[in-house]
Amino acid sequence: TEDALERAAAINRRVQAFLHLDREGALATARALDRQSPDCRGPLFGLPVAVKDNIAVRGLPSTSGSALLRDYRAPYDATVVTRLRQAGAIILGTANLDEFGMGSSTTRGFRGPTRNPVDPTRITGGSSGGPAAAVAAGAVPAALGTDTGGSVRQPAAHCGIFAIRPTYGRVSRYGITAYASSFDQVGCLATDLRVLGHVLSQIAGGDPRDATSVSRKVPDFAAAAARPELPRRIVTVGDADLEVLDAPSQRAFHAAVGRFEEAGCEIRRIGLPNPESSVAAYYLLACAEASSNLSRFDGIRYGHRRAGQESLPTTFRESRTQGFGTEVRRRILLGTTVLSRGYRDAIYGAATEARRQITARVLSAFDHGALLLLPITKVPPRHLADPVPATADYDGDRFTILAALAGVPAIAVPAGERSGLPFGVELMAPPWNEAALFSAAAAFS
């Protein structure tokens, strides 16, 4: 653990993956584990992990990347953290993100960007860029992130590692700072597929503290990763849906499809639900939920308070105006509008109906035991020196948001490189069939 902390600190100077390294807590956990008798050791015994900083770790800063929560410390452990501890993992620290998970770059947190370990002049992607960089740079073998619309899969693809977004309800959200509750799921990132499986198996399972979590038997995903097996059929997209990818990414994606074909999979091509509608539905619904969830940050109960205001409403307004970054404020305004009288049926209702139709389309791809294969990103990670407005990133989520809208599991799998940078693809499965994803990813890798 001493070595891991030292390595993490050195890596952090280069890429700023961690927001907080918990030297004392990690060493105390390690000492307690040393005293454990060997037959009591959990399946993650001694495994150093990083935890995205919107997941509560008791006693540690839990800022969600927001100046509003600059001084906030979590008073309790999230259920996933409790389960990591029970399994013997050692939490090295909290990792960087876009403010409240809103973004695809990890440049929009108040502490500044995380750099891509593969090329530190570039972004990691996001919003779980801190966890992805910590894993890809070798600070930790595994990390927890959250995936609302792609936030573990997209940075994993940009950094060349594995990540899984489980079925909605597979993992408890208790202790996660809510962004969009009907989409948020905790996801895992790792360099090794079996480690990824072990971590997911340990954190998964119903939790009385999260009514949307589901009590179902949790398979041994590491065992699934140890049993490479391809589905008989892979469903993917045709050229029309791939036009938005740059040429090297198109070639890399075709090469990935070719590998499945050579391995004996039957390849079937479908058209995606209209991407403009998917992106619009996702952002309207996510922002509507965010405007409601983030109303708790009022300057009274949590976080930053702008002192010296003459009334309660101005305290609310000024604290929020100072505490939230521009993109978060934009989304709250959009979400509040979507939910307001006169717009609710027209906009929120239409987006909900679009979600229903997209879900039906996604589920129909899984006929005959097929898995769905999609690109993750349109282009390689951009240079940090070329910032773009946050809204320009929305369309880049067109592939990853499908699993989020439909609530199905998806795994990001490294698939070589393009333009000298990591390229990743994602496989999606019907709800509760993460095991098929682990076996297919193992056979592909």
Distance from chain centroid for Cα 127: 7
Compute the Cα dihedral for 409, 272, 442, 53 and give only its sign. negative
Is 101 an interacting residue with respect to ligand GLN (CB under 6 A)?
yes
Does 103 interact with ligand GLN (rule: CB under 6 A)? yes
Torsions phi, psi for 298 (to 5 deg): -115, 5
Where does this chain touch ligand GLN (CB under 6 A) — which range of 98-106, 209-217, 225-233, 366-374? Answer: 98-106
- 127 in active site: yes
- At residue 413, the 3 state secondary structure works out as strand
Give the tokens for residue 50.
């990083």
Site string for ligand GLN, 178-217 (x = CB under 6 A): -x--------------------------------------
Q: Pattern 116-155, binding to ligand GLN, x per CB under 6 A? A: -----------x------------------xxxxxx----
Report in angstroms how near the CB of residue 19 gets to ligand GLN at its nearest. Answer: 16
Contact 8, 19 (CB under 8 A): no
Residue 425 CA to residue 256 CA, distance in Å, equals 8
Q: Please say which residue, 161 or 222, places its beta carbon nearer to ligand GLN.
A: 161
Catalytic residue among 52, 64, 291, 319: 52
Minimum distance from residue 397 beta carbon to ligand GLN (Å): 5
| Interface with ligand GLN, residue 286, by CB under 6 A | yes
| DSSP-derived secondary structure for 219-250 | P-HHHHHTS----SEEEEE-HHHHTTS-HHHH
Compute the distance between CA of residue 326 and CA of residue 335 in angstroms, rounded to an integer: 14
Query: C-alpha angle with apex 207: 407 to 170, nearest 5 degrees?
Result: 25
Kindly state the smallest distance separating residue 269's Cβ from ligand GLN, in Å.
Answer: 26
Start-end of H helices in 301-420: 312-323, 326-339, 350-364, 401-406
Reply yes or no on whether 52 is catalytic.
yes
User: Least distance from C-beta 359 to ligand GLN, angstroms?
Assistant: 17
Instruction: Pick the stretch among 96-104, 298-306, 361-369, 431-439 that binds ligand GLN (CB under 6 A).
Output: 96-104
Shortest reach from residue 351's CB to ligand GLN, in Å:
14
Closest distance of CB 294 from ligand GLN, Å: 13
CA-to-CA distance for 431 and 365, rounded, in angstroms?
12
Q: Among 404, 41, 315, which Cα is nearest to 198's?
A: 41
Nearer CB in complex with ligand GLN: 115/331:
331
Q: Which of 57, 78, 90, 102 binds ligand GLN (CB under 6 A)?
A: 102
Does residue 332 touch ligand GLN according to CB under 6 A? Answer: no
Active-site residue (options: 62, 64, 104, 127): 127
CB count within 10 Å of CB 369 equals 12
Is residue 64 among the annotated active site residues? no
Minimum Å distance from CB 28 to ligand GLN?
Answer: 31
Kindly tell me which of 306 and 330 has the beta carbon lying closer to ligand GLN.
330
Sheet strand arrangement including 371-375: 18-21, 90-95, 48-52, 142-147, 185-190, 162-165, 410-418, 421-428, 371-375, 233-237, 266-270
397 binds ligand GLN (CB under 6 A): yes
Q: Would you say the C-alpha torsion 244, 248, 252, 255 has a positive or negative sign?
A: positive
Q: Rule CB under 6 A: which residues touch ligand GLN?
A: 101-104, 127, 146-151, 179, 286, 397
- Tell me the catalytic residues: 52, 127, 151
